[in-house]
Protein backbone atom coordinates (compact mmCIF):
# COMPACT_ATOMS: atom_id res chain seq x y z
CA UNK A 1 0.00 0.00 0.00
CA UNK A 2 2.78 2.37 0.95
CA UNK A 3 4.20 2.16 -2.52
CA UNK A 4 0.91 2.25 -4.42
CA UNK A 5 1.07 5.97 -5.06
CA UNK A 6 4.73 5.82 -5.98
CA UNK A 7 4.18 2.88 -8.27
CA UNK A 8 1.26 4.61 -10.00
CA UNK A 9 3.33 7.72 -10.55
CA UNK A 10 6.14 5.61 -11.89
CA UNK A 11 3.85 3.64 -14.15
CA UNK A 12 2.43 6.80 -15.67
CA UNK A 13 5.91 8.24 -15.95
CA UNK A 14 7.08 4.98 -17.51
CA UNK A 15 4.90 5.54 -20.55
CA UNK A 16 7.15 8.28 -21.81
CA UNK A 17 10.40 7.16 -20.26
CA UNK A 18 12.09 7.00 -23.66
CA UNK A 19 11.34 10.69 -24.06
CA UNK A 20 12.78 11.50 -20.64
CA UNK A 21 16.10 9.74 -21.17
CA UNK A 22 18.36 9.02 -24.10
CA UNK A 23 21.08 6.38 -24.06
CA UNK A 24 24.64 7.55 -24.52
CA UNK A 25 27.79 5.66 -25.41
CA UNK A 26 29.87 4.70 -22.40
CA UNK A 27 32.93 6.37 -23.90
CA UNK A 28 31.15 9.68 -24.35
CA UNK A 29 30.42 9.97 -20.61
CA UNK A 30 31.96 13.17 -19.30
CA UNK A 31 32.26 12.87 -15.55
CA UNK A 32 34.80 13.19 -12.80
CA UNK A 33 34.02 10.30 -10.45
CA UNK A 34 35.77 11.97 -7.52
CA UNK A 35 33.81 15.20 -7.66
CA UNK A 36 30.62 13.43 -8.65
CA UNK A 37 30.50 10.97 -5.77
CA UNK A 38 32.20 12.95 -3.05
CA UNK A 39 30.51 16.31 -3.67
CA UNK A 40 27.30 15.67 -5.58
CA UNK A 41 26.52 12.18 -4.26
CA UNK A 42 24.26 9.70 -6.04
CA UNK A 43 21.18 7.59 -5.42
CA UNK A 44 21.38 3.81 -5.37
CA UNK A 45 18.05 2.15 -6.21
CA UNK A 46 16.72 -1.35 -6.74
CA UNK A 47 13.40 -3.11 -7.03
CA UNK A 48 10.33 -3.04 -9.24
CA UNK A 49 7.00 -1.19 -9.43
CA UNK A 50 5.70 -3.50 -6.71
CA UNK A 51 8.45 -2.89 -4.20
CA UNK A 52 11.57 -0.80 -4.38
CA UNK A 53 13.85 1.39 -2.32
CA UNK A 54 16.59 3.96 -2.77
CA UNK A 55 19.27 5.60 -0.69
CA UNK A 56 21.98 8.21 -1.08
CA UNK A 57 25.55 7.05 -1.59
CA UNK A 58 28.81 8.94 -1.43
CA UNK A 59 31.28 6.09 -1.58
CA UNK A 60 31.88 4.04 -4.68
CA UNK A 61 33.98 3.44 -7.73
CA UNK A 62 33.74 3.53 -11.49
CA UNK A 63 36.23 1.54 -13.49
CA UNK A 64 37.01 -1.61 -15.37
CA UNK A 65 36.86 -5.15 -14.02
CA UNK A 66 36.83 -8.44 -15.89
CA UNK A 67 37.03 -6.31 -19.10
CA UNK A 68 33.69 -4.77 -18.22
CA UNK A 69 32.67 -1.23 -17.25
CA UNK A 70 31.86 -1.59 -13.59
CA UNK A 71 30.61 0.39 -10.60
CA UNK A 72 31.53 -0.59 -7.07
CA UNK A 73 29.16 0.22 -4.23
CA UNK A 74 29.55 -0.08 -0.46
CA UNK A 75 26.38 -0.81 1.49
CA UNK A 76 26.19 -1.14 5.28
CA UNK A 77 24.29 -4.16 6.60
CA UNK A 78 21.47 -2.17 8.23
CA UNK A 79 20.39 -0.36 5.04
CA UNK A 80 16.90 -1.27 3.83
CA UNK A 81 18.22 -0.77 0.30
CA UNK A 82 20.60 -3.69 0.87
CA UNK A 83 17.64 -6.06 0.95
CA UNK A 84 16.72 -4.91 -2.57
CA UNK A 85 20.29 -5.03 -3.87
CA UNK A 86 20.50 -8.60 -2.57
CA UNK A 87 17.11 -9.63 -3.93
CA UNK A 88 17.33 -8.16 -7.43
CA UNK A 89 19.91 -8.66 -10.18
CA UNK A 90 19.56 -5.10 -11.51
CA UNK A 91 20.19 -1.80 -9.74
CA UNK A 92 20.76 1.80 -10.76
CA UNK A 93 23.11 4.55 -9.69
CA UNK A 94 21.62 7.95 -10.51
CA UNK A 95 23.18 11.42 -10.50
CA UNK A 96 21.19 14.60 -10.00
CA UNK A 97 21.36 18.34 -10.67
CA UNK A 98 22.09 20.48 -7.60
CA UNK A 99 18.46 21.59 -7.33
CA UNK A 100 17.57 18.11 -6.04
CA UNK A 101 20.16 18.05 -3.26
CA UNK A 102 17.42 18.21 -0.60
CA UNK A 103 15.97 14.97 -1.96
CA UNK A 104 19.40 13.35 -1.66
CA UNK A 105 19.71 14.59 1.92
CA UNK A 106 16.31 13.06 2.67
CA UNK A 107 17.03 9.70 1.03
CA UNK A 108 20.33 9.65 2.89
CA UNK A 109 18.89 10.35 6.32
CA UNK A 110 15.61 8.42 6.47
CA UNK A 111 15.08 4.71 6.00
CA UNK A 112 12.51 3.29 3.62
CA UNK A 113 11.67 0.89 6.45
CA UNK A 114 10.04 3.74 8.34
CA UNK A 115 7.78 5.22 5.68
CA UNK A 116 7.50 6.33 2.09
CA UNK A 117 10.53 8.62 1.94
CA UNK A 118 10.46 8.46 -1.85
CA UNK A 119 7.01 10.09 -2.01
CA UNK A 120 8.25 12.64 0.53
CA UNK A 121 11.26 13.40 -1.65
CA UNK A 122 8.94 14.28 -4.58
CA UNK A 123 11.25 12.42 -6.96
CA UNK A 124 9.47 10.52 -9.73
CA UNK A 125 10.32 6.82 -9.95
CA UNK A 126 11.07 5.62 -13.47
CA UNK A 127 10.85 1.87 -14.05
CA UNK A 128 13.27 0.84 -16.69
CA UNK A 129 15.13 -2.34 -17.69
CA UNK A 130 13.49 -4.26 -14.84
CA UNK A 131 14.71 -1.86 -12.20
CA UNK A 132 14.08 1.65 -10.94
CA UNK A 133 15.64 5.08 -11.34
CA UNK A 134 14.30 8.63 -11.13
CA UNK A 135 13.14 10.98 -13.87
CA UNK A 136 14.88 13.97 -12.27
CA UNK A 137 18.32 12.37 -12.62
CA UNK A 138 20.64 13.90 -15.18
CA UNK A 139 22.49 10.60 -15.60
CA UNK A 140 21.54 7.02 -14.75
CA UNK A 141 23.80 3.97 -14.74
CA UNK A 142 21.70 0.86 -15.28
CA UNK A 143 23.71 -1.94 -13.67
CA UNK A 144 23.62 -5.72 -13.54
CA UNK A 145 24.99 -7.19 -10.34
CA UNK A 146 28.09 -9.27 -11.02
CA UNK A 147 29.40 -9.90 -7.54
CA UNK A 148 28.39 -9.30 -3.95
CA UNK A 149 27.89 -8.60 -1.40
CA UNK A 150 31.03 -9.45 0.38
CA UNK A 151 31.54 -7.80 3.73
CA UNK A 152 34.74 -5.90 4.43
CA UNK A 153 37.01 -8.05 6.57
CA UNK A 154 38.13 -5.93 9.52
CA UNK A 155 41.33 -7.94 9.91
CA UNK A 156 42.53 -6.62 6.56
CA UNK A 157 42.61 -2.94 7.49
CA UNK A 158 46.19 -1.79 7.05
CA UNK A 159 45.38 1.54 8.68
CA UNK A 160 43.36 0.61 11.76
CA UNK A 161 42.39 4.27 12.21
CA UNK A 162 40.03 3.82 9.25
CA UNK A 163 38.34 0.94 11.02
CA UNK A 164 37.75 2.85 14.25
CA UNK A 165 36.80 6.07 12.46
CA UNK A 166 34.33 4.68 9.95
CA UNK A 167 33.12 1.52 11.69
CA UNK A 168 32.88 2.28 15.42
CA UNK A 169 29.87 -0.07 15.65
CA UNK A 170 31.49 -2.71 13.40
CA UNK A 171 28.81 -2.39 10.74
CA UNK A 172 31.25 -3.19 7.96
CA UNK A 173 30.11 -2.35 4.44
CA UNK A 174 29.21 -5.00 1.92
CA UNK A 175 30.90 -4.57 -1.45
CA UNK A 176 29.09 -5.15 -4.74
CA UNK A 177 30.29 -4.88 -8.32
CA UNK A 178 27.74 -4.09 -11.02
CA UNK A 179 28.29 -4.02 -14.76
CA UNK A 180 27.13 -0.75 -16.30
CA UNK A 181 24.80 -2.05 -19.02
CA UNK A 182 23.44 1.31 -20.15
CA UNK A 183 24.05 4.96 -19.43
CA UNK A 184 20.97 7.16 -19.76
CA UNK A 185 20.99 10.93 -19.78
CA UNK A 186 18.12 13.32 -19.37
CA UNK A 187 16.95 14.50 -22.79
Ligand X SMILES: Cc1cc2nc3c(=O)[nH]c(=O)nc-3n(C[C@H](O)[C@H](O)[C@H](O)COP(=O)(O)O)c2cc1C
Residue nearest to ligand X (CB): 108
Single out the segment in contact with ligand X by CB under 6 A; choices: 25-33, 105-113, 136-144, 148-156: 105-113
Q: Is 53 in the site for ligand X (CB under 6 A)?
A: yes
Q: Total binding residues for ligand X by CB under 6 A?
A: 19
- Compare residues 12 and 122 and give the one whose CB is closer to ligand X: 122
Single out the segment in contact with ligand X by CB under 6 A; choices: 15-23, 68-76, 93-101, 140-148: 68-76
- Compare residues 110 and 138 and give the one whose CB is closer to ligand X: 110
Out of 9, 68, 76, 144, point to the residue binding ligand X (CB under 6 A). 76
Gap between the Cα atoms of 13 and 126, Å rounded = 6
Q: Is 58 in the site for ligand X (CB under 6 A)?
A: yes
CB 20 → ligand X: shortest distance, Å? 24
Q: Is 110 in the site for ligand X (CB under 6 A)?
A: yes
- Compare residues 109 and 164 and give the one whose CB is closer to ligand X: 109
**Residue 161: its H or E element:** helix 160-166
* Spatial contact of 99 and 137, defined as CB atoms under 8 Å apart: no
Single out the segment in contact with ligand X by CB under 6 A; choices: 62-70, 102-110, 122-130, 179-187: 102-110
Alpha carbon of 90 to those of 45, 53, 143, 171: distances in Å?
A: 9, 13, 6, 24
The residue among 98, 81, 92 whose CA lies nearest residue 35 is: 98
Per-residue burial over 109-146, b = 16 or more CB atoms within 10 Å of its CB, e = otherwise: ebebeeeebbeebebbbbbbbebbbbbbbebbbbbbbe
- Secondary structure letter of residue 40 according to DSSP: I
Out of 10, 69, 81, 131, point to the residue binding ligand X (CB under 6 A). 81
The residue among 175, 185, 154 whose CA lies nearest residue 73 is: 175
**Which residues contact ligand X (rule: CB under 6 A)?**
41, 53, 55-59, 74-76, 79-81, 108-113
Amino acid sequence: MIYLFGALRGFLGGENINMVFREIELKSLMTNPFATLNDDWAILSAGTEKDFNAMTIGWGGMGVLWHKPVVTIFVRPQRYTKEFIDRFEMFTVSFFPQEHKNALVLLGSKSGREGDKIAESALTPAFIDGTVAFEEAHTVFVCRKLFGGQQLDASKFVDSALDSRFYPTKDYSFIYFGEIERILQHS
